[in-house]
A and B are shown apart, each in its own frame.
Chain A
Amino acid sequence: MGLVILRINNIVLLKHSKLKQLKLKQEKGFQRFIKTLKKEKYLWILVLPGIIWYLIFAYGPMYGLVIAFERYSPARGILGGPWVGFKWFKQFFESQFFWRLIRNTLLLNIYSIIFSFPAPIILAIMLNEIKHGWYKKAAQTISYLPHFISTVIAVGMVVNFLSTDGFINNLISLLGGQRKQFLVMPEWFRTIYIASGIWQSAGWNSIIYLAAISGIDSQLYEAAIVDGATKLNQIWHITIPGILPTIIILLILNLGHILSVGYEKIILLYNPAVYETADVINTYVYRRGVAGGEFSFGTAVGLFQSVINFIMIILANKISRNLSEISLW
């Protein structure tokens, strides 16, 4: 608004001739714009369906976020409900589940950064040192395999293996132990979730690191060997620094999702007996927001999560840019 007033003042102060000049310039600018549009009409025709899709299916739900601040009812539509301010947020922050959800979500993320994140890095470094081509290739092909198994099947396998008469329990009882009902024991949920996640994705995620390693100048290794560096020295002083930019970029992307976890897997894997450790923000949004029909409340919880995630990725990017000059943008 201020800008507009400033502009009007300027125009009033301008001499008549100058005003004419300015008008002419603007007209030219507009004509140039039309000209560009004409020249690029096919490009715009091509890109238009994509833009429309993004408007509807990506920005549409963002517009739908307003129902977090009202008492939404499907009959009255998105703008039809009475405004309630931050009522749903308050209700969520004060609910007995709030801290449990925050704790579970954060812990699953922290554990996956501690355990799942380094797994493909270690695998890539170890694979890279394998000198027999056929062995390396076979190992790679096999390690990608679980990535092609759907989440449903992966969870189905986990459930089958951990059931009371499943493979793990058969092994335990063979070794003289007591059979356990892992899937209804809250203290086991995080281990099961993280371990099965590593099994499924470590091989696949190692591809990016292997690519990064292959980009390291081989002269560095030769020089190090001349200096008498052992294999471990080489890994520590050449390989790891060489892939550090890749590691940091992927870490930033991971940190940006600190308040969201692979909920599609959790929804398959959990049951009320393990909500204590398994229920995360996303699964809660699904249960209450979609399945339970509390649309406004579910939207508010989801918005809270998106905002924290957005802040996290900006922060992580900033910190990384300051510390290492590596950033996403």
Chain B
Amino acid sequence: MLKKLSIGDRIFYAIDYMFIALVICITLYPFVYILSCSISNPAAVAVGKVWLLPKGITFDAYRRVIEDRLVWISYKNTLWYVSVGTTINMLLTTITAYPLSRKRFSGRNPIMMFISFTMFFSGGMVPTYLLVKNLGLINSRWAIVIPVAISTWNLIIMRTFFEGIPESLYEAATIDGCNDIGILLKIYLSLSKPVMAVMVLFYAVSHWNSYFNAMLYLNKEELYPLQMLLRKILIQYEQSDLMADVMEGRDAVGQTIRYATIIISSLPIISVYPFLQKYFVKGVMIGAIKG
């Protein structure tokens, strides 16, 4: 690395380091800006005085968000969808992936084809909606967790991981009189902690972030997940404003409230993701092996 570099390579490295610095700035700036705005004086934000650092620090906006009853209800709902949904996901994905990873299982190939086909062809939005409706799941919490109980992509990741567990362990357990359910519980689960962690994270984040199914299947506010509330606060309000062509006279505090809502609602994920990052990356890699 300390070897003498040609001029061309020096220029390359200079451009490379600057390019990455630019990427960092562009990625980070919106977050810093929103954080600053959320704790700034609303009047300063409204006239565009905040560029990077907060002006006239106040936590008023946060107080108003925290005092909102709906924010707490939807926060609780989201926690329900994330915990119950992820539990169902993990249970179903594991028990389906295990048999498919057994190379001598007679159903392996036909079932894999049956499952893979759904990755390339689907019934689409309207038939799925009608199915959920006909099952009587509209306006029920189950409508949010049951139709997405298995992600085929995650199932394949988990199966690929299971396939890497040595066959000899399986045979030894069989000789000891262990059946497949016992083997799954006692051997495979304890050897699969990394992939399990990755799957929990993938599923939990997707539940945390999803809004579309809630929009389709729920119309009771008490059942709304956080993302649906955010949609109302962040986007619909804004759009109706725009459409009415209201340029002046917007509630100045409204602006900072929106910024504070963004921070409060993404705080849990943003504060844990640096710690979970390596697992996520591992998951993408395991997925890529198959990909």
Find out whether the CB atom of B124 lies under 8 angstroms from the CB atom of A285.
yes
Find out whether the CB atom of B273 lies under 8 angstroms from the CB atom of A144.
yes
Find out whether the CB atom of B270 lies under 8 angstroms from the CB atom of A152.
no
Residue interface mask A191-235, B partner, CB < 8 A = 1: 000000001000110011001100000000000000000111000
Q: How far is the CB of B236 from chain A (nearest CB, A)?
A: 9
Let me know if B222 is at the binding interface, CB within 8 A.
no
Q: How far is the CB of A295 from chain B (nearest CB, A)?
A: 6
Let me know if A139 is at the binding interface, CB within 8 A.
yes
On whether A299 and B230 interact (CB within 8 A), knowing A139-B24, A184-B242, A290-B129, the answer reads no
Find out whether the CB atom of B125 lies under 8 angstroms from the CB atom of A289.
yes
On whether A139 and B288 interact (CB within 8 A), knowing A51-B114, A295-B126, the answer reads no
Q: Number of B interface residues, CB 8 Å?
A: 94
Find out whether the CB atom of B107 lies under 8 angstroms from the CB atom of A165.
no
**Which residues of A sit under 8 angstroms from B197, Cβ to Cβ?**
none
Of the candidates B20, B33, B180, which one forms a contact with A126 in the assembled complex, judged by CB atoms under 8 Å apart? Answer: B20
Grouping DSSP codes into helix (H, G, I), strand (E, B) and loop, the B interface class, with mixed when no group exceeds half, is helix
| Cα(A267)–Cα(B239), bound, Å | 12
Find out whether the CB atom of B24 lies under 8 angstroms from the CB atom of A46.
no
Residue interface mask A233-253, B partner, CB < 8 A = 1: 000000000000010011001
Find out whether the CB atom of B107 lies under 8 angstroms from the CB atom of A43.
yes
Which residue of chain A is the closest to B93 with respect to CB atoms? A50
| Cα(A42)–Cα(B184), bound, Å | 11
Find out whether the CB atom of A290 lies under 8 angstroms from the CB atom of B24.
no
Q: Which of A141-161 contact B (CB under 8 A)?
A: 141-146, 148-153, 155-157, 159-161
Let me know if A61 is at the binding interface, CB within 8 A.
yes
Residue interface mask A291-314, B partner, CB < 8 A = 1: 000010011001101100110010
Find out whether the CB atom of B28 lies under 8 angstroms from the CB atom of A142.
yes
| Cα(A155)–Cα(B234), bound, Å | 8
Let me know if A64 is at the binding interface, CB within 8 A.
yes
Let me know if A254 is at the binding interface, CB within 8 A.
no
| Cα(A230)–Cα(B10), bound, Å | 10
Q: How far is the CB of B76 from chain A (nearest CB, A)?
A: 17
**Which residues of A sit under 8 angstroms from B250, Cβ to Cβ?**
165
Q: Which of B102-136 contact A (CB under 8 A)?
A: 102, 105-107, 111, 114-115, 118, 120-131, 133
**Which residues of A sit under 8 angstroms from B147, Cβ to Cβ?**
57
| Cα(A144)–Cα(B48), bound, Å | 29
- The segment out of A3-11, A14-22, A109-117, A130-138 that lies at the interface is A130-138
**Which residues of B sit under 8 angstroms from A145, Cβ to Cβ?**
27-28, 31, 270, 273
Q: How far is the CB of B267 from chain A (nearest CB, A)?
A: 11
Let me know if B8 is at the binding interface, CB within 8 A.
yes
Find out whether the CB atom of B96 lies under 8 angstroms from the CB atom of A153.
no
Of the candidates B12, B120, B184, B210, which one forms a contact with A231 in the assembled complex, judged by CB atoms under 8 Å apart? Answer: B12
On whether A126 and B121 interact (CB within 8 A), knowing A54-B150, A156-B258, the answer reads no
**Which residues of A sit under 8 angstroms from B106, Cβ to Cβ?**
36, 40
**Which residues of B sit under 8 angstroms from A50, Cβ to Cβ?**
92, 95-96, 150, 155
Find out whether the CB atom of A57 lies under 8 angstroms from the CB atom of B131.
yes
| Cα(A290)–Cα(B147), bound, Å | 17
Find out whether the CB atom of A246 lies under 8 angstroms from the CB atom of B288.
yes
Which residue of chain A is the closest to B205 with respect to CB atoms? A148
Q: How far is the CB of B290 from chain A (nearest CB, A)?
A: 10
Find out whether the CB atom of A310 lies under 8 angstroms from the CB atom of B124.
no
**Which residues of A sit under 8 angstroms from B184, Cβ to Cβ?**
46
| Cα(A40)–Cα(B235), bound, Å | 53
**Which residues of A sit under 8 angstroms from B127, Cβ to Cβ?**
60-65, 67, 299, 302
Find out whether the CB atom of A231 lies under 8 angstroms from the CB atom of B9.
yes
Of the candidates B9, B16, B130, B243, which one forms a contact with A230 in the assembled complex, judged by CB atoms under 8 Å apart? Answer: B9
- The segment out of B56-64, B65-73, B79-87, B277-285 that lies at the interface is B277-285
Further pairs besides A64-B127, A67-B127, A149-B269: 20, Cβ < 8 Å: A44-B107, A46-B184, A60-B127, A61-B123, A62-B123, A64-B131, A65-B124, A74-B130, A74-B133, A127-B20, A148-B205, A153-B266, A163-B238, A163-B241, A199-B27, A211-B285, A230-B8, A231-B9, A286-B125, A310-B121
- Please list 8 pairs of residues, one from A and one from B, whose beta carbons are closer than 8 Å in the complex, sorted by A's number: A57-B131, A141-B274, A145-B273, A150-B208, A153-B230, A156-B233, A159-B238, A170-B48
